[in-house]
Amino acid sequence: MPQAKQNTELLRNCDLNLLIALSVLLKHAHVSRAAKQLGLSQSAMSQVLKRLRLMFEDPLLIKSHNGMMLTNKAQGLTQDLEHCLSLAMDILDGDHFDPKTAQGHIRFTMNDIAAQLCIVPMLQHISAKAPLLELEYISQHSDGFQQLTRGQVDIVVGFYDSIPRHLNYKTIASAPWQFVSQNPVFTNPHPDVEQLKQLQLIRYQFQQLNQLSQLDRLKRLKGDDCNYSLTSGSLSVLTHGLNSGSSATFLPHYAVNILPKEQIEKLNWFGPVSDLELKMCWNNRSRHYELHKWVRNEMAEILKAQVEQQP
C-alpha cells in the first residue's frame, strides 16, 4: 500500500480526541490530575491510557520512585504533539480573532533591562491595538520554566542555552555580550594580570552556561581563588554597580541604553564578544490561544527592535 494511502488509513482509524488526552497526560504525568482537567473519572482516564498505549505501542507513562515518568518515546512525542494541536487550533479558529475586542490578562517575565527598554513602546502599541488587554510584568526568577509549566506565567523571555522539550520557543534576536568595566586598566588592550587582580567581579544571578563560561574565564585571569563581590538578579543593579570603578561584569551591549551619556563614555568593553540568542518561551493553552499567539508576535517584534537598537 502506498505510504500516503497508509497514513490516511491510520488517521481514519484513529480517534483524534485521544491526542488531546495524550497531551494532558504527558503534561501532568499523572492519571488523576489528567482526569480532573479533562472532566473524566479516573477509571475512564485509565482506559484512555490503555488505548493510547496500544496506539503507540509503548507504555508512555511508567512508575518511578517519584510517581510516574515519561518513557523516551513519550518525551519525543511531546513537542510534535503540541505543534500538531497548535496547528489544529489555528485551523479551527480561522479569522475570528480581533485584538480590539479581545480581553485577557497576559503575564510575562524577562530581565529588568529588557523590560525597561520595551515597556513604553509595548504599552503604546498594545493599548492602541488591544485596549481591553491587561499586561503583567513579573520579575525574572530562577524557576521561570516551572512557572510556565504550572501556568503561573504565560511568556518567559531570556538568554537560554536550552529549553525543556515540553515548552515551545522561538529566537527573537541575537545580542552581543561582553566584559565591561569603568576601570581605566582596560583602555590598554593587554592589561597586566596584576592589575586585573584588583577588580571586583559582579555577576547576574540568572546566567546560563554560555555566559557563566565567560565569567569563569575572567575569574581565571584573576586567580583560582577569586570570588564574586556581588551577585544580583537585576541587570540594572549590575550596570549601575560599575560606577564603583573597580567592578567588572559580563553584560549585553543593549544595557547601555538605560544609562546616561556620561556613564556610557566611561565604559570600557573588553574581551571576546559573545552573540547570545534571546528566546521567547511559552506553553500552549487551549483557552485564549489566538490572543496569546498575537501578544507573543507583537512582543517579539518590539523586543527585537529594542534589543538590536544601537546606543
Query: Which band of pLDDT confidence, cut at 50, 70 and 90, is reported for residue 5?
Result: low
Please name the residues in contact with 145: beta carbons below 8 A apart, sequence gap of 6 or more.
156, 163, 164, 167, 281
* Residue among 263, 64, 254 at smallest CA distance from 175: 254
* Residue among 158, 169, 178 at smallest CA distance from 275: 178
More confident residue, 172 or 143: 172
- Say if residue 128's pLDDT is above 90: yes
Q: What pLDDT, on a 0 to 100 scale, did the predictor assign at position 220?
A: 65
Q: Once rounded to an integer, what is the mean pLDDT over residues 63-87?
A: 80
Query: Which band of pLDDT confidence, cut at 50, 70 and 90, is reported for residue 210?
Result: low
Give the Cα separation of 200 and 3 in Å (integer).
64
- Say if residue 203's pLDDT is above 90: no
* Cα–Cα distance list, 132 to 104, 121, 297, 299 (Å): 7, 17, 18, 16
Q: How many other β-carbons are positioned within 10 Å of the β-carbon of residue 20?
A: 16
Q: What pLDDT, on a 0 to 100 scale, did the predictor assign at position 305?
A: 92
Least confident of 13-17, 54-58, 88-92, 114-118: 88-92
Query: Which band of pLDDT confidence, cut at 50, 70 and 90, is reported for residue 157?
Result: very high
Give the Cα separation of 280 and 135 in Å (integer).
16
The DSSP code sequence of 19-46 is HHHHHHHHHH--HHHHHHHHT--HHHHH
Query: Which band of pLDDT confidence, cut at 50, 70 and 90, is reported for residue 224?
Result: low
- Say if residue 239's pLDDT is above 80: yes
118, containing H or E segment: helix 112-129
Q: What pLDDT, on a 0 to 100 scale, did the predictor assign at position 154?
A: 92
Cβ 177 vs Cβ 214: under 8 Å: yes
Phi, psi of 13 (to 5 degrees): -90, 0
Query: Which band of pLDDT confidence, cut at 50, 70 and 90, is reported for residue 171?
Result: very high
Give the Cα separation of 270 and 257 in Å (integer).
18
Cβ 293 vs Cβ 96: under 8 Å: no
Q: Once rounded to an integer, what is the mean pLDDT over residues 120-126?
A: 93
Domains defined along the chain, listed by start: 3-93 (1.10.10.10), 102-311 (3.40.190.290)
Single-letter amino acid code for the residue at 295? V
pLDDT in tens, 95-117: 567 899 888 899 999 999 999 99
Task: Provide, rounded to the nearest whole percent, the portion of the chain with pLDDT above 70.
Answer: 79
Q: Once rounded to an integer, what is the mean pLDDT over residues 159-166?
A: 86
C-alpha cell recorded at residue 230 = 556581588
Mean pLDDT of the chain: 82
Q: Once rounded to an integer, what is the mean pLDDT over residues 257-274?
A: 86
Q: What pLDDT, on a 0 to 100 scale, did the predictor assign at position 38?
A: 86
Query: Which band of pLDDT confidence, cut at 50, 70 and 90, is reported for residue 279?
Result: very high
Q: Once rounded to an integer, what is the mean pLDDT over residues 151-161?
A: 90
Q: Once rounded to an integer, what is the mean pLDDT over residues 43-54?
A: 90
pTM higher than 0.75 for the full model?
no
Query: Which band of pLDDT confidence, cut at 50, 70 and 90, is reported for residue 125?
Result: very high
285, containing H or E segment: none
